Amino acid sequence: MAEDANKTIYVLNGPNLDLLGAGELDHHGHATLAEVERLCGETAARFGLTTECRQSDNEGALVGSIHEARTKSVAGIILNAGIYSNTSPALHDALTRGKIPTVEVHVGNIHARASGRHHAFAAKAAFASICGFGIDGYRLAITGLAAKIGANSSAKTDVKALA
């Protein structure tokens, strides 16, 4: 990764993810959004990266964050668009036009849910999609994004920690 490159990752979370740990515990688990944000910051720091975490129930705000990421030339995006993954061509278009390395994350396994949840517009604009690992999916996403953009780990990577 070039020395002058922006080392910020946007972690964008969509509708109702501020309620993690408060509902659908069998699908999403007990972790809170604050725990997700802490995990993301700690994981990014291992690669000399920082995170800017945002959550919005508003599709337009998420699109605006993607446009801002392009303007600021951020290193990458981790996106959990929630239900907007299944309904928002606008998020897909913003990601496609922004050309920022993106990993789509879902806390639960979207393929174990109703068939309407299997299609994800955002996934088609991302270079990878992770689902079903709980909040560890965010850690896996940042690790994969770091590899994609050439950010080196400041600490020896523990393979067990990645599983």
Does residue 101 form part of some domain?
yes
Q: What confidence tens digit (pLDDT) does each residue in 89-136 have?
A: 899 999 999 899 999 999 887 765 555 555 566 778 899 999 999 999
Does residue 1 form part of some domain?
no
pLDDT given for residue 159 in this prediction: 41
Q: pLDDT band at 24, cuts 50/70/90?
A: low
pLDDT given for residue 140 in this prediction: 97
Task: Identify the CATH number of the domain in which residue 26 sits.
Answer: 3.40.50.9100
- Reduce the secondary structure of 6-25 to three states and give it as a string: CCEEEEEECCCHHHCCCCCH
pLDDT given for residue 120 in this prediction: 66
Does residue 43 form part of some domain?
yes
Burial 19-57 (b: 16+ CB within 10 A, else e): ebbeeeeeebbebbbeebbebbbebbebbebebbbbbbb
**Antiparallel, parallel or unpaired: β 76-80 and 50-55:** unpaired
Does residue 150 form part of some domain?
yes
- Give how many domains the chain has, as a whole number: 1
- The residue segments making up the domain with residue 58 are 8-162
Q: pLDDT band at 162, cuts 50/70/90?
A: very low
Does residue 2 form part of some domain?
no
Q: What confidence tens digit (pLDDT) does each residue in 45-99 have?
A: 999 999 999 999 999 999 999 999 999 999 999 999 988 887 788 999 999 998 9
Does residue 48 form part of some domain?
yes
Does residue 58 form part of some domain?
yes
